[in-house]
Structure 1
């Protein structure tokens, strides 16, 4: 019994050794999923389309952002050089090339090289999706 207690105490001790060479500090974004945050955190992309960058990593070739769309219609046809992970937070959207719909709570994986056309339907007043994009984004 005492060995279990001792192990728990050891696990609670933080690591104090050196970080690997060139390693950056952790990035913490409080309220990252707060879609009602300060409007200055949103970057306009076009009318009623904006994104909130959470991390932009040029050195590792990826970015994570929240895309917010406040209109219906076609956003863009595009291709990704790397994999994309998407988690829909609000509203719904789909790619014209596929039968599936991404609704709030849906996770979608997009393989590298896929070409698709993003559409937000007319009955949606706001769509918000968190995207983790690796590699180039090609229009």
Structure 2
């Protein structure tokens, strides 16, 4: 039997995973990491943020899929507003500034490939986020809070 034939379908209970602050960027933004794949550079996560949020402008090196569960948000550079039930597909190479709009908390399900490169107003790189920085953030949060860290790279839940 091949190794891939032994991989079973996994169900990961979100209640078993912590909400991790998105430090150092904004302590009001939280990530719940389901999977962090170092081979493909992919992260599967939930993100929640307050209604008055504006994150720094950034560039994507890979694709991003965002499904909005609660709240409304947009990019400063676009006219559309994504609300509950909206699915936004971002191509590699896009640049934008995320903003929460309206009332209430924002809750999104995100599948992100590649890196987020944070930029200043002159397109100078401020910081880079990827699977490694996400894993470091998750492991540090678990350690600091006495939480047993899960192997988020595993295929077996």
Question: TM-score, with normalisation over the residues of structure 2?
Answer: 0.66
Kindly state the Cα deviation for residue 136 of structure 1 after the two structures are TM-superposed.
1.2
Write the distance in 2 (CA, Å) between the matches of 1:135 and 1:100: 24
Deviations 1:53-112 (A, max 9, x none): 011001121011111002413122111101111100000100001111110100010010
Aligned to 1:130: 109
Kindly state the Cα deviation for residue 23 of structure 1 after the two structures are TM-superposed.
7.3
Q: What value does the CA root-mean-square deviation take over the aligned residues?
A: 2.1
Q: Verify: 1:103 aligned to 2:80, yes or no.
A: no
Secondary structure in 1 aligned to 2:92?
coil
Secondary structure in 2 aligned to 1:47?
strand
Question: Greater share of helix residues, 1 or 2?
Answer: 2
Secondary structure in 2 aligned to 1:73?
coil
- Number of residue pairs matched? 115
Q: Verify: 1:19 aligned to 2:17, yes or no.
A: no
Bigger mean CA offset, 98-107 vs 70-79: 70-79
**Contact conserved, 1:48 with 1:71, CA < 8 A, in 2?**
no
Using a 3 Å threshold, how does the CA distance of structure 1 residues 23 and 134 change in structure 2: closer, same or farther? farther
Write the distance in 2 (CA, Å) between the matches of 1:28 and 1:87: 19
Aligned to 1:5: none
Write the distance in 2 (CA, Å) between the matches of 1:75 and 1:124: 17
> Unpaired runs of 5+ in structure 2?
119-157
Write the distance in 2 (CA, Å) between the matches of 1:64 and 1:22: 23
Question: TM-score, with normalisation over the residues of structure 1?
Answer: 0.74
> Unpaired runs of 5+ in structure 1?
1-17
Aligned to 1:11: none
